[in-house]
Every structure is written in structure tokens, then in C-alpha cells.
Structure 1
Amino acid sequence: MLPIERQRQIVEQLTNHGRVLVAELVNLCQVSQETIRRDLSMLEKQGILQRSHGGAVITQRNIGPSTAGKADLSEHELAFSQRINENVPQKMQIAKRALDFISPGDCLLLDSSSTCWFLARQLPDIELTVLTNSLRTVQTLAAKGNIRTICLGGQYSSRYEDFKGVVAEHPLKEFLINKIFFSCSSLGNDGYLREGNENNAHLKQQMLLASERKFLLMDASKFLKPSFARICHYRDVDILITDTLKDKELQQELAWNGVNIIDCSQRQSTMQIMNF
């Protein structure tokens, strides 16, 4: 069993039970105590758990919404106005590479991530239909006369500068969407893409279901980090576009699960992309 698979099982046990014992994990994973302790140490460094005598407990910030009396973790998410100033060169590089997968006549879906806003800014003024729940993206595309822009309505969030809720989800059923370009808060050790806000996560689930091809735009700062609400497993993604992916183990895991990787730091992708 690969380390990432073991750590995924450890996180699942923590999520389900709130605590794990070394002895139980040894039996579950069929490895030595030393190996389990190394896994726990790595997960502790990532803020997922806190080690205790004979095992570990889940950290407060990773307790799910079903736990009563806990703070709303979405409060700790950065506002959109803050996120657009983070990792700007990386996001611009990712957005520029994403243009290679956009053709005249496409019907695109862009989420309200800051990375997709950078993509919207770089879109050429060609015949496209773009659906989005991002107010900032709508404003950006308004100056491009050949792009038909459709805003997904719903409850507006001034913090995230986007729309969400049932009203935003309904129009997704009315269009044949070729490609979705989206980002998220993190890709965790358990293999799941996550958001810091459960409402954002649910809307992105519906966006993915409505789209034929799924493009994940993610800079390296988000890999193997904990976050709150589950969106989907990375095996549900067709193409990952990132500024760099140095973790060979994760790279292999993604490839085994059918995810084509576009590493902008490499001259060629790690997989051959066909029919996109």
C-alpha cells in the first residue's frame, strides 16, 4: 500500500470517528507501528490531526458540519478581493495554458475562483458562450462583444463576489456545457477536492455534473492540504493544469486515476492529451 493510500485511510477513520489508535491502524493497513507513526507525523504537520498517546485526534478545524456547536469554518476563507492578490504569476500562467483547450463555439462554465477570473481576463474575443456565477467574471467579459455571457443568479455574496444556491444551480440543466474550468481550496491526502464553504462545494458538484469535460486549475500551494467541504474525488477530473507538481507520488496517483496533468513548469505535459 502506497503512503498516500494509507494516509487516505487514516483521514477517513478520523473523519468517521474523530480519533484513531496506532494499533488499529497497524491492523487496518498491515504495516509496522513505525510506518503508521511516520504517517501520523506527516498528517500532523499538515494540520489534519493532533497526535496523542497511542494515536491521534482530528483537529478542531477539520471537524465536519454534523458536529454541533462548532464554528463556521467558512469564516476563515479569504475574501475574493484578497485571493486575487495571492500567487498572481502562477494563476496567470495556469490561465494562459488553459486557453489551449478553448475553441470557437465552445460553451464554457467558469466557477467563481480567482484563477478562473484570471482566465476570463485572458479569453480572446471569439465566439463563445460562458456561464458563470462570478460577478467579477461577468464584468470582465462584458467588454468582449463576441462572447455571450450568462450569469447564474442566486443569493449574492459580497465576500466572495458570486452567486450561489438553488437559483444558481437550476440553469445548469438547460445548457449543453462542453467544458468546465474550476478551482478549489485544496486537494487533500484523501484524494478529494475540497472547499472551505459547503455552499460553494455543493454548487461546484452540480457544475461538474452538468459539464462534459472537467478542467481543474490549481496552483501548487493547494496540494495535499486540509479543507472543509468535499466536492469530488480527483478521479472525476479530466485535466489538471498547475504551475508545478513536484510530488512524484501524487503525480503517479493522479495518472493512475486517469487524470491528465499539464505542468506549466514542464515543456510537455506528463500525459498526451487527445480529443480535447
Structure 2
Amino acid sequence: MYAEERRRQIASLTAVEGRVNVTELAEKFGVTAETIRRDLAVLDREGIVHRVHGGAVASQSFQTTEFTLDDRFRSAPSAKLAIARAAVEHLPPAGGSVFLDAGTTINALADLMAENPAADQWSVVTNSLPIALSLSARDLDSVQLLGGQVRSITQAVVGDTALRTLALMRADVAFMGTNALTLDHGLSTADSQEAAVKAAMVTNAHKVVVLCDATKLGNDYLVSFAAIDQIDVIITDSAAPEPFIEALREREIDVIIADAE
């Protein structure tokens, strides 16, 4: 296992369980305690965990830091592709309608949709400039990009125009990304305008499918845009801690674990 992947799993475990122990982590990952200490030092510098004697504890603050699209595309690419492949199974039948939220995992799903023979028969609405450009470049005509202001860091369309348009729409399935997911705060993100568009998609869809790699689990961002009970399906990866998965399933959410090939 690469160091980046190990740190990703450590971050997720810390967020969900609240505290991790160096010795237990070393046994779990089959590395030395010194390697784990270096991992925790890196995660501490990044503000993901707080180092304490013998291990680390989860950061308790609501996060506001956003990463660029390039950084997001580089983060956990194999997990995101596996999640996108699993999400294909939840696309509506030909002729159905889909909301595609802005996000790199959703972008991976859009690429897979474009390769599907039924692609031209879906009505797609998105607030993601990269997704709209990607789908239209593949000669798909039934793609609507919401109007409004484009946020430079995420290239997502936000604002009153997008919200007014969404208020008139309904979709069979909304595929949603998120910066974070907790049991009490639900789905959350850093920006209130982006959260408003996400919330409108969730509200106006018959089925909500969340594409969420394990690094998002147990973390909190500033603005909540959907409660846990608004989610029908969560697709995550094999690094997701089992106690958190069990807690989601106890709330009658269909949790799917996508294994990277």
C-alpha cells in the first residue's frame, strides 16, 4: 500500500472513531510505529488530525478549506473510479432524468455515462462546467448546464438563476458529491452558494445517490446541504470504517462498497 492511500485510511478512521493509536495502526497496516508517526505528522500539518501522545484525535472544527480541481482529481483516483462504476447501476432507464452535481467523482460518472448506448436518451441537468463540456464534446444533446455565476475553484455554477431553474425541475436520480459526511450534520460543503444548489438538487429528485470516498466520512464542513434521512444510497470505497457503515445502514441507507480493481 502506498503512503498516500495509508494516510487516507488513517484520516478516515480518525474522523469516524475520534481517536487512533500508533501501535494499533502499525499492526493494522503492517508497518512500523515510526512510519505511522510520520503519517500522523503529515496529517497533523495538513490539519486533518491533531497529534496526541500515543496517537491522534480527529479535528473538531468545521472545515472551510477548499482544494482546487487539480488537487481533487489527484486525490484517491482509483477509489473515485470504482465508486463511479458502481453508481452506473443506479442510472434511471432510458428516457429518465438525472441531476449531476459538481465534483470529481461525479465527473468520473459522467465519463462512464457518455460511453453508455443509452446516453442520448437521458436528460441531464448539471451545474458543473467541466461535466457539461465533457458530455457535450461527446455529441450528447440532452445536457442542460444551469445558468448563473461560475465559482472558479470548483467550476460549479451557483446563484439565484440556477436556483430558480432548479425549482421548476424534477429528476429521477440526483448524483451528489460532498466535501464531508457525518451522522449528525449530514452532507456538507464549504460554500453557502454551492450548498444551496446542492440542496435544491436533493430536494427535487426522487432518489438521491451520494458518491463519497472514505476520506469524506466523519468530517464536517461549514454548511450542511442535506440531512442523513434525505439520502437513499451512499457509494463509498473499501477504506470506509465498518462502524460508520453499520451506523448508516441502521438508518436504512443502502451503503455500497466499491472495490477498486
So what's the TM-score if we normalise by structure 2? Answer: 0.72
From 185, 188, 199, give the equivalent of 1:194: 188
Runs of 5+ in structure 2 lacking a partner? 1-14, 19-52
> What residue in structure 2 maps to residue 258 of structure 1?
252
One-letter code aligned to 1:90: A
After superposition, the Cα gap between the structure-2 partners of 1:226 and 1:112, relative to the gap in structure 1 and judged at 3 Å, is same
Q: Distance in 1 between matches of 2:255 and 2:160?
A: 32
1:45 aligns with 2:48: no
RMSD: 2.6
After superposition, the Cα gap between the structure-2 partners of 1:147 and 1:101, relative to the gap in structure 1 and judged at 3 Å, is farther
1:81 aligns with 2:70: yes
Q: Distance in 1 between matches of 2:237 and 2:141?
A: 27
Q: Distance in 2 between matches of 1:256 and 1:186?
A: 19
1:115 aligns with 2:127: no
From 181, 190, 210, give the equivalent of 2:204: 210
Instruction: Check conservation: 2:186, 2:228, Cα contact below 8 A.
Output: yes
Q: In the TM superposition, what are the counterparts of 1:72-221 in structure 2 within 5 Å?
A: 73=64, 76-102=65-91, 103-123=93-113, 124=116, 125-188=119-182, 190-221=184-215
Q: Which range moves more in the overlay, 207-216 or 76-85?
A: 76-85
Instruction: Check conservation: 1:128, 1:147, Cα contact below 8 A.
Output: no
Q: What's the secondary structure of 1:45's corresponding residue?
A: strand
Q: Tell me the percent identity.
A: 22
Q: Offset at 1:189?
A: 5.4
Q: Distance in 2 between matches of 1:132 and 1:47?
A: 32
Larger of the two Rg values belongs to structure? 1
Q: Distance in 1 between matches of 2:242 and 2:156?
A: 35
Q: What's the secondary structure of 1:150's corresponding residue?
A: strand
So what's the TM-score if we normalise by structure 1? Answer: 0.68
Aligned length: 206
Instruction: Check conservation: 1:133, 1:164, Cα contact below 8 A.
Output: yes
Q: Offset at 1:147?
A: 4.9
One-letter code aligned to 2:252: G
